Structure 1
């Protein structure tokens, strides 16, 4: 009887956990999506409200601030004029007034005119690019006569804000100084503020999106999914698992309660086993013993219990979201300087020139950027081995140390030589951290979801690039280059703290590859690939030129060119941001179109032609829109060719992929294309010194166009390299 009661209790416990009619929908995903949407909606409303308030405040204060600055300039001028008149020089016969007034415009470009009138309103002296227009506006509006009652007054006159200051000799009013600032200048300043506020709004939303995604995944979706898996196992009668939930939230307490039930069920089961053995030992009737064994057999068949003394199996699994937050913050720290790095290098070079025979100033500016790319290329293969040996968590923490030293050292650098050292440290740190995160994602992603997991990795990097490029330009304009680097340095410990809280290395024992065998296999793969004319054509015609135009035109030339045209760093950041936005929006679509049409070669060639052709516009239009068009075309072209280039590898290198593995071949592609990343800034700088900005940008475009044309002709002559294999026909 006790045996039957215990059996009935176990069956009822299992059936009470879940019934067969419970739907199998993913409740964790359902709930997390709604929490995510609600949080972002609240943030969006709050940030839009703050942005509108900030813009109204700026608009209300900007014109009076311009008036106060004009009044400050006017007081300096009137004091000197009044002093001269006080010495007895006739007010209408002051000499040297043209150069005296013209000196004001050098340091105050917003001032359009300076006009001096006598007590009768007659204009005695005039200077400035808007003097004629301002004089006509003052006369037609009657602003010159009578003299204003206030000592200083500002009012709108025609297309100007006119600030008038009364000049005196003793107690007598002898005339007035009129300082004019174009209203279009004030509107332009307001527009810059609006652009900055909108940039901050977009970046804040993107950062909030990333952080909310991480928190929802770790604190909501993962606990719910863990509870759901535990319930499913209990429903099937499997009492060997433990959710290991946190007691600080409702889901965690629920999971802990389930674990308590599981432990008690296992205790009851082993108590039942002990009772059954005692009953069997005291029975002499074989039929009773047979019935007891039948009941126990039914229990073992229907349910699964822990072995006596064994610990429950922990259902907690590594989460891809755990690495997403630290990676985003780390890459954001590096990307903050994207929009002004060449300008900062030029500033250091100008302050402390470093003369190297054979290297021009432009080449010296491109040298730190090229060295940064070179150090990434050299460190990447070693970082993969270090990840296997030390684990993601430890390697990421180690990587942050040179990153922190590099960011602080870059902020305090006194010369280009100092910058070379500290940017090398930053590059080593960047390679180690990104490869560590990539290795973690590869290890923890399910076998059928690695592509989606890598999309999370790439998406975090691209999102950080958008935020860093845009907000870095705004920060550099407002607080300076060095302070922005210090902010980047502050983000690195924050990434480390987030990593320590969220990330656990995968509890999987991986077989470490033989280093000697791996290096030999990689070298043989390089030799085989360089003997494949299709692969060589792809590298020389697309992969290397694509990286050259990216680092040469976008990263090196664009900030310098826009500064040459008179635009600030915030504008450079917004222009460069458009490239990353297009890559995120169009990259997946282009990959899907290329796969659907099976025309990867066409997409690669078209992307190269579009990238190069768009840049050629700077030869005909020397303005902001030409640069923006070139960056936009580059983003469109790179979005079209990036994924299809990777998809072409199994087609044109089928034999090498079968022999060495597709991962090894793709790694070789990544290493080889770094040649373009290193050469891009150096080549752009060399051409810049000889043919100017337009010539250097156009040269990058010509290289990409030429490479794309030669690639198309080469693949047409060589064929696509595909061979029919069993089970697959030629498309």
Structure 2
């Protein structure tokens, strides 16, 4: 299989490009890591200098009150206070002034985790002289320890010397943080490089080649009905322009038409851009919205933040069927451009909002834009595919969405920690504006299949929802899945992590795991689901994985169990969501025969999105009354209840009422 993949020249070019980008970014990352050590040492020295002066002032004040140097008390407590705020502090030493006969002085007090080796460090020669070029004279590096000294004065006379030691290994902590950020940027850069290379190769090589083959095949059969429709001026373009001249001269009974291959790779990038714009600020949304909710008297901040997040999801859900109704009148290009512009304005306003009600307006506007662009992308897929390749076209669009779920929170967490939440929203607006500018190029082409997004008529809606098995699937599987995604992952996980002191960048990395796991595990799990005769069991297993992850977080709250719960959610939904679609189609055979698959799938998507919209409200209300951990426990109970009820209905003895 790998050999067959490598035989494709496009795949070989993609592999070569990926390896080249990886090597270049790895070299840049290594240079950044090694150079940051030189940059961080002066910063560590500034911190050590400030702490030493604080201790010096306190000790000199004690001496000025007449307390003898040999009877000072509280040195250990003073060290503990410093160590509580600076875990990098190694030792604190007070010694008599150095003399000709005693260059190190006599140690009077020493405390700290490195107190036993402090005397040896102070007596050691300077290490790495090049490190001292940017350090003041009273700071030296000895035995890989940065030693900061200050004289203790009584009046004008020096009576002792104060030393604080900070090991150079303290530089590893910020280096590791930088390394994590570099790793995230490296991963995102590789993914985006692949996307751009795929786009360039498809638009400039694959599609023109396929069109040329199609036109030449038409000429070989002496039909002369097709003309090569690309205007590129490369060798293939010049050749096919000559072929076009031959076709025009040979066509007698018919008028040849320009033809171009429809492409779906553009919709993948367009989906990525508008979802990425929204996902950038995902790690900080609950706390950012809560800060503005605090300006409303009598409104609990958790409930207020949940309302804002739910409002966005519910409006986007309502826009989907409405957008499908106006799709034919406006067209996909203008519909996407309008949506992208609205999303741009909404994200800009969100970052600049000064009050809660401003935030409500701008998030509603952003939701309208989000839903509109989604309808445009979905409609383009339907127009450009047939029933035979529609699943592949949908997968192309969903892959862009999952890629945004990976890249958005990860990069957004880094941005928020460095430039703040408001600016991150504005960067998201720039991404949305870029989508509006790129749509004419990426969504161009003549559609072969004039099929608009499915319309939810009242008749189709009623026939679908009269099926109690379909309703059981909705209320026990589809709605809870979106409830846990929006309420647990998007609301409770960031809220819990940030309240426990986790940085926003780390929150983004943890949220990224959901999309990464779903992207990696999705194809394999989907193939397993296709082989199952009763996909309801895949839905049940996926629900059980989700419930098990939340249960581990409920029983033992920690960063590791939070990561485990996010991973379980990603695997569980990658397994259950495709199975939900298969189950819905199986259950609604009579409705599909009468109205087609569109209304059934559209009804499923509409209701589950409305269910997802309630997630942040439920999570916010529970967090307001029980705290975040109590809310997680309630969500766990809901997950296990839905899982057990689905299992009971799917048992062989209950086949007549089984949801699948």
Which one of 51, 55, 66 corresponds to residue 33 of structure 2? 55
**How far apart in 2 are the matches of 1:146 and 1:712?**
72
Change (3 A) 1:615 1:377: same
Matching of residue 657 in structure 1 with residue 584 in structure 2:
no
Matched, 1:43 2:14: no
Match status 1:233 vs 2:168: no
Partners of 2:499 and 2:229 lie apart in 1 by 60
The whole-number CA distance in structure 1 between the counterparts of 2:625 and 2:205 is 58
Partner residue of 1:353?
Answer: 295
Aligned-pair distance for 1:470? Answer: 0.9
Alignment partner for residue 438 of structure 2, among 498, 504, 517?
A: 498
Name the residue aligned to 1:480: 420
Equivalences for residues 635-674 of structure 1 within 5 A:
635-674=570-609
Offset, 1:406: 0.9
For residue 492 of structure 2, the aligned residue among 532, 557, 572 is 557
Correspondence list, 1:147-162, <5 A: 151-155=137-141, 161-162=146-147
SS of the residue corresponding to residue 139 of structure 2 reads strand
Structure 2 equivalent of residue 339 of structure 1: 283
**Alignment partners' CA distance in 2, 1:440 and 1:446:** 12
Q: CA deviation at 1:170?
A: 7.8
Q: Give the drift of 1:714.
A: 2.4
Q: For each residue in 1:568-621, what CA deviation from the matched residue of structure 2 results, as whole angstroms up to 9, or x when unmatched?
A: 111111111111111111122112111113230111011101101111112332
Q: What is the rounded CA distance, in whole Å, between the counterparts of 1:99 and 1:415 in structure 2?
A: 45
Q: Given the alignment of the two structures, is residue 215 of structure 1 paired with residue 157 of structure 2, yes or no?
A: no
Q: Which has the larger radius of gyration?
A: 1
Partner of 2:101: none
Tell whether 2:87 aligns with 1:143.
Answer: no
Q: Matched residue of 1:504: which SS?
A: coil
Secondary structure at the aligned position of 2:223 is classed as coil
Q: Distance in 2 between matches of 1:394 and 1:48?
A: 41
Deviation at 1:30, TM superposition (A): 4.0
Cα deviations by residue, 1:532-589 (Å, 9 ceiling, x for unpaired): 2211211111111111111111111111111122211111111111111111111221
Secondary structure (helix, strand or coil) at the match of 2:283 reads coil
Instruction: Determine the C-alpha separation between the residues in 1 that align with 2:37 and 2:44.
Output: 11
Q: Deviations over 1:46-99 (max 9, x none)?
A: 112212221222234334431232224434654686688789986667899899
Q: How does 1:236-635 map to 2 (within 5 A)?
A: 236-263=221-248, 265-266=249-250, 305-307=251-253, 310=255, 312-349=256-293, 352-356=294-298, 359-504=299-444, 506-507=446-447, 510=450, 522-635=457-570
Contact 2:37 2:171 in 1 (8 A): no
Partner residue of 1:272? none
In structure 2, the residue corresponding to 1:427 is in which secondary structure? helix
1:185/1:618 Cα in 2 relative to 1: closer, same or farther (>3 Å)? farther
Check if 1:719 corresponds to 2:655.
Answer: yes
Deviation string for 1:130-186 (max 9, x for gaps)? x542433424x352899999842243669x654333445687544333334466653
Aligned positions of 1:10-49 closer than 5 A: 30-49=8-27
Deviation at residue 195 of structure 1 after TM alignment = 0.7
Moved more, 623-632 or 326-335: 326-335
Matched residues in 1 for 2:312 and 2:194: separation?
30
Question: CA contact under 8 A between 2:382 and 2:451: conserved in structure 1?
Answer: no
After superposition, the Cα gap between the structure-2 partners of 1:200 and 1:256, relative to the gap in structure 1 and judged at 3 Å, is same
Are 1:206 and 2:186 matched, yes or no? no
1:703 CA drift (Å):
0.7
Query: Which segment drifts farther, 591-600 or 460-469?
Result: 591-600
Cα distance, 1:117–1:250 mapped onto 2, change above 3 Å: farther
Once residues 396 and 46 of structure 1 are traced to their aligned partners in structure 2, the CA distance between those partners, rounded to angstroms, is: 36
1:337–1:469 Cα contact (<8 Å) kept: yes
Contact 2:93 2:164 in 1 (8 A): yes
Structure 1, unpaired ranges of 5+: 1-25, 267-304, 724-730
Hey, what's the Cα distance between the residues in 2 that align with 1:425 and 1:407? 9
**Counterpart in the other structure of 1:165:** 150
Given that residues 549 and 568 in structure 2 are in contact (C-alpha distance below 8 angstroms), is that contact kept between their aligned partners in structure 1? yes
User: Could you list the per-position Cα deviations for residues 185-205 of structure 1 after superposition, in whole angstroms to 9, with x for gaps in the alignment?
Assistant: 532222111111000000011
1:457 Cα offset (Å): 0.4
Counterpart position of 1:302: none
Other-structure match for 1:270: none
SS of 1:567's partner is coil
Which deviations, in whole Å up to 9, do the C-alpha atoms of 1:319-345 show, x marking residues without a partner? 212323232222211111122211222
- The answer to whether the 8 A contact 1:376-1:431 is kept is yes
Contact 1:138 1:157 in 2 (8 A): no
Q: Contact 1:119 / 1:173 at 8 angstroms: preserved in 2? A: yes
- 5+ long unaligned stretches in structure 2: 99-104
Q: Provide the C-alpha distance between the structure 1 equivalents of 2:75 and 2:108, rounded to a whole number of angstroms.
A: 10
- Distance 1:580-1:145 versus aligned 2 partners, 3 A rule: closer
Matched, 1:705 2:640: yes
Q: 1:107 to 1:248 in 2, by over 3 A?
A: farther
Change (3 A) 1:136 1:713: same
CA contact (8 A) 2:315 2:367 kept: yes
Cα shift readout 1:502-553 (whole Å, capped 9, x = no counterpart): 332635584889x9xx65xx32333333332211211111111111111111
- Matched position secondary structure for 1:622: coil
d(CA) in 1 for partners of 2:502, 2:146? 24
CA contact (8 A) 1:245 1:253 kept: no
Partner of 1:277: none
User: In 2, Cα distance between the equivalents of 1:147 and 1:570?
Assistant: 37
Give the superposition deviation at 1:463: 0.5
Which residue number in structure 2 is paired with residue 119 of structure 1? 97
Helix, strand or coil at the partner of 1:155:
strand
Q: Is the 8 A contact 1:650 1:662 kept in 2?
A: yes
Query: In 2 relative to 1, CA 93–410 (structure 1 residues): closer, same or farther, beyond 3 Å?
Result: farther
Q: Displacement, 1:627?
A: 0.3
Conserved 8 A contact 1:654-1:722? no
From 677, 688, 703, the equivalent of 2:623 is 688
Task: Call closer, same or farther: CA 1:84–1:38 in 2, change over 3 Å.
Answer: same
Distance in 2, Cα, partners of 1:588 & 1:156: 56
1:213 Cα deviation from its structure 2 partner: 1.1
Distance across 2 between alignment mates of 1:162 and 1:384: 69
C-alpha distance in 1, partners of 2:636/2:452? 44
